[in-house]
Structure 1
């Protein structure tokens, strides 16, 4: 299924050579960028759960990180089971009605829950909305709360990136960017997370290849007027493909220490990883037919 709800991406060291034409690219693929300390997100989330200094939730009082992540596949599995059960009931009712007298009335099958293919915008024509991607003022993982400081829709996609990526986006059919400024529970980092709406997966791959190259650029930060950060030093943690969408997170410490190498900041990596998972939830819901355009 495109946009697999359990797609846990594994970042890899940067720089990497451009992918060969023979290398398969899968749905919801993580495009690796610079992170010499890279760890798979599953391990990063486990580290978060094990780190008492960062852990602000108690598994005995609520959902654990694993519970929240596994609930995503539970939702997908439940959706498929509903469709299977509906078909079985329909066949049973039809067979039963044919074996009864002429006075018997067959019960019409209930409508199956609509699903959406994210392969192309032609198959998924309804635009994203800010409410669909960032429905509340917080992104929640268990009891860990990432605050959404500001969110917006940008029609001019090239305005949201810098470097060679801006010129690439001007040549592609990108209709919108939904993005938000987010901060972690301790307000140590300012993060910009969002989704680009491109025409097809091949366009996502083309943009990703530019972003991975020297001079490719980065995603611009949303910096609230009440905050002062060195947005030019923002680092991209990830950009990934979900059908015809490209999801991304980029961030920077709110206070950068003199000489600090933010590419080695594991806490920033962790915050961006978790934010990415929560942002991608919107596309998982859309694919399952929930919340489209709302």
Structure 2
């Protein structure tokens, strides 16, 4: 049976109890209550630098989804969809005053750098201290063994040899010629000591103008000895004059050659008996040198009394052995090393010459 409707009241068609209620294809089960899920959900992590105040209320939990209502009886209108609940309001952020200020990233870096520099400085200081302690503990180099044939004078203090004011201890024969022989040079050639003499009168070892010159320059002592050379063909008288200072010794050195060349004076040889008189009378070769306020000299003559040739190399060796090796490096070096010298003494200055036969004043 078909009904026509002429008004709005006729538009309602009675629903039969045995027919199912037709549902609109557009209408489905009602959506769950609560906010719509996101297609790309992301975890919500708390911010590390954000402080949550106790007064801030946590957001309310989402409402569970409501079950779909059961179908109403045929005599009732179809159920209407439940409106979705509004999304909960987000928690208000804390006020700006409650947030702690962000840390300065560079401050910790400077602290680490300064701490590392301090550690390096401490390590360097520790290393320097350890090196200084080790250096102090190292033993000194062993000193050269003293010559057993040389015996120094006890109580002699080292000094600056440039002046008698700083080198006041007088010379002794035992200091200059300590034994019956002296060994010098690499070959340790031995010179036999025949006689020694120490005198406070310098003219006993010189004659003429040379003796007067030594007295004017303040000479107050001479120590000498007569020796026989190892080959026994030469006799030598050698010794030291003690003058006032280095300046007076240098003036004596400059005048000696002129006096010898003009035959106005000479060095005396010391006779020791037993056919040694030729050292005081025969023609001789002479050498001399200066160190500090000392004038060292040596007179060399042949045992047979003959004249020494100008090219005699053996005489040069004898002069070097006694003047440089024995008197300078031996006697005067020991005297200078006996204490603290104010200044290093200059290298010795030397000279050689000839003198004729002795002429008594």
- TMscore range, shorter length: 0.5 to 0.7
Q: Shift of residue 226 of structure 1? A: 1.3
Aligned partner of 1:103 in structure 2 is none
Contact 1:237 1:269 (8 Å CA) reproduced: no
Contact 2:196 2:223 (8 Å CA) reproduced: yes
Contact 1:218 1:235 (8 Å CA) reproduced: no
Contact 1:249 1:275 (8 Å CA) reproduced: yes
Q: Shift of residue 161 of structure 1? A: 0.6
Corresponding position: 1:284 with 2:333: yes
Aligned partner of 2:301 in structure 1 is 252
Aligned partner of 1:188 in structure 2 is 233
Contact 2:237 2:300 (8 Å CA) reproduced: yes
Contact 1:253 1:268 (8 Å CA) reproduced: no
Structure 1, unaligned runs of 5 or more = 1-87, 94-113
Aligned partner of 1:237 in structure 2 is 286
Q: Shift of residue 230 of structure 1? A: 5.8
Match of 2:162 among 116, 119, 122: 119
Match of 2:192 among 144, 147, 150: 147
Match of 1:263 among 283, 296, 310: 310
CA distance in 2, matches of 1:190, 1:134: 16
CA distance in 2, matches of 1:282, 1:234: 28
Q: Shift of residue 236 of structure 1? A: 4.1
Structure 2, unaligned runs of 5 or more = 1-131, 138-156, 340-361
Contact 1:119 1:244 (8 Å CA) reproduced: yes
Contact 2:270 2:279 (8 Å CA) reproduced: no
Higher RCO by CA contacts (8 Å cutoff, separation 6 or greater): 1
CA distance in 2, matches of 1:216, 1:123: 33
TM-score where L is the length of structure 1: 0.56
Number of aligned residues: 181
Equivalences for residues 1-294 of structure 1 within 5 A: 115-141=158-184, 142-213=187-258, 214-227=262-275, 228-229=277-278, 231-257=280-306, 260-276=307-323, 277-280=325-328, 281-289=330-338
Aligned partner of 2:343 in structure 1 is none
CA distance in 2, matches of 1:273, 1:132: 20
Contact 2:249 2:295 (8 Å CA) reproduced: yes
Determine which structure has more spread, i.e. the larger CA radius of gyration.
2
Aligned partner of 1:105 in structure 2 is none
Q: Shift of residue 186 of structure 1? A: 1.7
Contact 2:285 2:301 (8 Å CA) reproduced: no
1:116–1:252 CA distance, 2 compared to 1 (3 A): same
CA distance in 2, matches of 1:193, 1:151: 10
CA distance in 2, matches of 1:151, 1:230: 14
The structure where helix makes up a greater share of residues is 1
Q: Shift of residue 163 of structure 1? A: 3.0
